[in-house]
């Protein structure tokens, strides 16, 4: 089992969310130097860990359980921008217009079928009355 370093995890999470030590220090009513020292601690008191997690708006579990490998995988996933480089090979607006036109065509077919049913029903009723 890998060692979990609360201080390093606090630092990693803080950096991922883009929070400076000074900001975290202000939220916890501490100094920036105290946050720096906190990030060096391997184990942090459970009650204080909850305060830190709340100040960063994250789950305590992330700080308590994140291993070095998990943190690196998370950071790499977080920084992966390949999904944003997707080049669309069609115009989405054109596809939308095509879908609207298809819906219109299907609606007209449905309406035509319903009119035919209505006409047949009327003919049956007329034939029964005669």
pLDDT of residue 93: 82
Residue 107 banded pLDDT, cuts 50, 70, 90: very high
Q: What pTM did the predictor assign?
A: 0.54
Segment 75-94, tens digit of pLDDT: 555 554 554 555 667 777 88
Segment 9-35, tens digit of pLDDT: 999 889 888 999 999 999 999 999 999
Taking 70 as the threshold, does the pLDDT of residue 111 lie above it? yes
> What dihedral do alpha carbons 23, 29, 33, 35 form, nearest 10°?
-70
Helices (H), the chain: 6-16, 21-27, 32-38, 46-56, 60-65, 68-79, 92-129
CATH class of the domain comprising 6-84: mainly alpha
Tell me how far apart the alpha carbons of residues 9 and 24 are, in angstroms, rounded to a whole number.
14
């Amino acid at each position: 089992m890998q060692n979990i370093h609360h201080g390093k995890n606090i630092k990693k999470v803080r950096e991922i969310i883009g929070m400076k030590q000074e900001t975290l220090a202000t939220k916890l009513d501490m100094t920036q130097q105290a946050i720096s020292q906190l990030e060096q601690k391997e184990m942090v008191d459970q009650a204080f860990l909850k305060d830190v997690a709340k100040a960063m708006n994250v789950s305590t579990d992330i700080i308590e359980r994140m291993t070095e490998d998990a943190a690196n995988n998370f950071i790499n996933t977080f920084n992966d921008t390949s999904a944003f480089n997707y080049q669309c090979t069609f115009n989405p607006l054109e596809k939308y217009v095509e879908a609207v036109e298809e819906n219109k065509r299907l609606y007209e077919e449905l309406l035509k079928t319903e009119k035919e049913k209505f006409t047949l029903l009327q003919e049956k009723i007329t034939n029964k009355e005669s």
